[in-house]
Amino acid sequence: MAPLLPTASANTGETFLSLPAGFQYNVIGRAGSLMSNGMPTPTLHDGMAAFPYRGFPNSLALIRNHENSGFAGSGGAVTGTTPYDANAAGGTTTLIVDKQTRLVVNTFPSLSGTVRNCGGGPTPWNTWISCEETPVGTLGGLAKPHGYCFEVGRRLRGQPVALKQMGRFRHEAVAVDAASGNVYLTEDNTPAGFYRYIPNVRGQLALGGSLQMLAVTGRPNADLRTGQTLNASIPVEWVNIADPDPALADTDAAAVYLQGAALGGAKFTRLEGCFANAGTIDFTSTNGGNQDWDKFGVTPRSRSGTRNARSDL
């Protein structure tokens, strides 16, 4: 095994890591360091994505989640000028990074007043969807309901808009099918559903749409949590979620899932990452016995990468 050597970051010259010879890293954001507006960088960095950016020459915009669950004003909170909920500490920050030097040239809060922004995903139209991983709301001391997705652009804009028709539950990640504009969503709960959101207008998620949950054809409430067989195609269909924004979610995180289950929706456990990949949607199950899945149709594969045959949706 190659020895680990103290290594300075390629962009700032600071030394934080020991790496094998030939490896390098860049430092683009440290919790507590001052942002361009003079506020400290929030804590609990999580899901993020990079996008083209024209505001500075030769730069990109990195939009980054902060999985803060506390209240506004607590240590590490995201502090913005137009919070969704003035009581909540989560959100996103945006870093403008020079692509040549890898130095940060600007950074600012881009979403604030949300809770436990864990995962999310990029869209084909270069925005970031940031997901709340808890539906806690006013009964938990917050000013508004939570458990939603929020769309974040590359530039700071006005009041955040909760995408309520995309469901109120323990969101983890999303992936957008570039061909249809449909959004696929994972749920980090036990049990959990796998969902798709069909927007009324492609690329305009806030204009409403329909939320559906995956079901296995001919197998109501199919239990896909463990014990799946590689190379066995599973035909699937979708059931409609009548109320994607139930008030009951404040006390029951499974309120959306139970609607789908009542119509035969399939059962997963702790769904996590979700990615668009060359015409498929890949997603993973944390507690599912090392399961990875492809959708188009539902295709379990092992962590070794062996992939099931796909069926059409």
What percent of the chain shows pLDDT beyond 70?
A: 91
Tens-place pLDDT, residues 23-33: 999 999 999 99
Q: What is the pLDDT of residue 13?
A: 96
Q: For residue 296, is pLDDT > 60?
A: no
Tell me which H or E stretch contains 201. none
Confidence of residue 176 (pLDDT cuts 50, 70, 90): very high
Q: Which of 106, 129, 161 is the last residue of a domain?
A: 161
Q: Are residues 261 and 185 in the same domain?
A: yes
Confidence of residue 132 (pLDDT cuts 50, 70, 90): very high
What's at 257, amino acid-wise? Y
Q: Are residues 53 and 85 in the same domain?
A: yes
79-97: average pLDDT: 97
Task: Give the count of domains, the chain.
Answer: 3
- CA separation for the pair 168, 114 (Å, rounded): 13
| Lowest mean per-residue pLDDT among 208-212, 244-248, 277-281, 307-311 | 307-311
Alpha-carbon separation of residue 1 from 17, 21, 22 (angstroms): 17, 11, 14
Backbone angles phi, psi at 102, to 5 degrees: 60, 20
Please give the structure tokens belonging to residue 250: 């404040």
Q: Which of 101, 131, 161 is the last residue of a domain?
A: 161
Q: Are residues 224 and 252 in the same domain?
A: yes
Q: For residue 126, is pLDDT > 70?
A: yes
Q: Are residues 292 and 195 in the same domain?
A: yes
What's at 123, amino acid-wise? T
Q: For residue 305, is pLDDT > 50?
A: no
Q: What is the pLDDT of residue 307?
A: 34
| Lowest mean per-residue pLDDT among 15-29, 66-80, 104-118, 246-260 | 66-80
Q: What is the pLDDT of residue 55?
A: 84
Domain of residue 3: give its range: 1-30
Tell me which H or E stretch contains 45. strand 45-53
Dump the DSSP string for 219-284: BTT-B-SS---TT--B-EEEEE-S-SS-GGGGT-TTHHHHHHHHTT--BBSSEEEEEEETTEEEEE
Tens-place pLDDT, residues 215-261: 999 999 999 988 877 777 788 999 999 999 999 999 999 999 999 99
Q: Are residues 4 and 84 in the same domain?
A: no
Q: Are residues 177 and 278 in the same domain?
A: yes
Q: Are residues 40 and 156 in the same domain?
A: yes
Tell me which H or E stretch contains 262. helix 255-262
Q: What is the pLDDT of residue 154?
A: 86
Q: For residue 302, is pLDDT > 50?
A: no
Q: Which of 136, 161, 186 is the last residue of a domain?
A: 161
Q: Are residues 202 and 312 in the same domain?
A: yes
Tell me which H or E stretch contains 152. strand 149-152
Q: For residue 180, is pLDDT > 70?
A: yes
Please give the structure tokens belonging to residue 285: 């199950």
Q: Are residues 87 and 2 in the same domain?
A: no
Q: For residue 298, is pLDDT > 60?
A: no
Q: For residue 18, is pLDDT > 90?
A: yes
Residue 147 φ/ψ region, left for φ over 0, alpha for ψ in the -120 to 50 degree band, beta for the rest: left
Q: What is the pLDDT of residue 312?
A: 33
Please give the structure tokens belonging to residue 69: 């669950």
Q: Are residues 42 and 147 in the same domain?
A: yes
Q: For residue 313, is pLDDT > 90?
A: no
- CA separation for the pair 271, 188 (Å, rounded): 5
Q: Are residues 285 and 155 in the same domain?
A: no
Q: For residue 208, is pLDDT > 80?
A: yes
151-178: average pLDDT: 94
Please give the structure tokens belonging to residue 124: 């084909």
Q: Are residues 107 and 173 in the same domain?
A: no
Q: What is the pLDDT of residue 1?
A: 78
Alpha-carbon separation of residue 50 from 60, 190, 312 (angstroms): 7, 31, 31
